[in-house]
Amino acid sequence: MDLYVFLAVLAAAACHAGWNALLKLNLEPLVATSLVAAASGIVAAPFALVVGMPSAAAWPYVLASVAIHIVYYLALAQAYRHGDLGQVYPIARGSAPLMTAVLATLWLGESLGPFAWGGIVVLAGGILLLAVRGGRSSKGFDGRSVGFALLTSLTITTYTLVDGVGARLAGSAAQYTVWLFVLSGGAMAVYGWARIGTRLVGDFAANWKLVLSGAALSTAAYAIAIWAMTVAPIALVAALRETSVLFAALFSMALLREPVLPVRIAAACLVLAGVVLVRLR
C-alpha cells in the first residue's frame, strides 16, 4: 500500500469515528442514523450531476450495497440505543477485518503476505480488546448491544466486499460512491419518515448543523475507503480503516465522558502495532 493511500485511509478512519461519536450526543439513535444517512444523500446529490453514472456492470453491486447499508444503519442505531460508544464501536468494527480478509482471499483471490496477516490479526485483537468492560467501568457487556454490534460487523464485512468489487467495475470510484450515497440516503429518508413521521423534520431543523456535519464526515470517510479499495487490497484497506476505534476511544473520553481504562491503553498499543505490520507488508 502506497504511503498516500495509507495516510488517506487513516484520515477516513478519523472521519468515521467522528460521525459515530456525533450519533451519541443529542439525538435518539434511530433518529440520528436516519437523519445522517438521508443528509449524506443530500451531500452527495450535487456530485451526481458532475460525475455521471457508473457502468452497467456496477449497478447490481450498488443496489445490493444500498440494501446492506440500510441493515447496517438500523443495527448500529439499535446497538447505540443499548450500549456505549466505547463498547459498541470496537465490537462492531473489530471482527470485520478478519472476516473481510478471509472472504477476500477465498472469493477474490487476494494474496496477503505474513506481515499483512499478522497486522490484521493484531489490529483486530486490539480493537476487540477496547470493548472490554464497555464504556462504563461499573457495567459489563449488555447482551442486546453486543448482539446488534455483531450484526453491524457482519454488514460491514458484506458491504466492504460488495463495494470493493463494485467500485472496480464502475470505472470510477467517485461515480460508484456518489450513487451509493444518493440511493441509500433516499431509502433511509423514506424509512425514517415511515418510522418516525413528521418529528424527523423537526429534529433535523433543531440539529441541522450536527446532522450535516455527521453526513459530511460519513460521506468523506467512505468515499476515501472506496477509492482506496480500487488501488489497494480490499482486506488491507478494511483493516486499516478500523483504526477509527482509536479516534472513537478518544472521542468517547473527551466528548462523552466515558472512563479511561488501563485495558484500553494496552488495546491501543496492539492496534498501533497492527498498523505498523500492515504498513510493512
The one-digit pLDDT tens for each residue of the chain (281 residues) are 788 898 999 899 888 877 767 666 567 777 888 899 899 999 999 999 999 999 999 999 999 999 999 998 888 888 877 777 667 777 887 888 888 998 999 888 888 888 889 989 988 888 888 776 544 444 555 677 788 888 999 999 999 999 999 999 998 999 999 999 999 999 999 988 988 888 888 888 988 888 898 899 989 999 999 999 999 999 999 888 888 777 777 766 666 566 666 777 787 788 878 888 887 66
**Alpha-carbon distances of 193 from 2, 34, 64, 257, rounded to whole Å:** 43, 9, 22, 32
d(CA 205, CA 242) in angstroms, rounded, equals 32
CA atoms within 13 A on the CB side of 74: 13
Counting the structural domains of the chain, the total is 1
Residue 147 cell numbers, joined: 448482539
In whole angstroms, what is the distance from residue 267 CA to residue 131 CA? Answer: 9
Q: How far apart (Å, rounded) are the C-alpha atoms in residues 278 and 274?
A: 6
Cα–Cα nearest to 184, from 44, 32, 49: 44
Query: What are the start-end ranges of the E strands in 199-240?
Result: none
Residue ranges making up the domain that contains 183: 3-280
Tell me the C-alpha distance between 70 and 207, whole Å.
22
pLDDT at 76: 82
Helix, strand, coil in percent for the chain, rounding step 5: 85, 0, 15
Q: Are 260 and 253 in contact (CB under 8 A)?
A: yes
Q: How many residues does the chain have?
A: 281
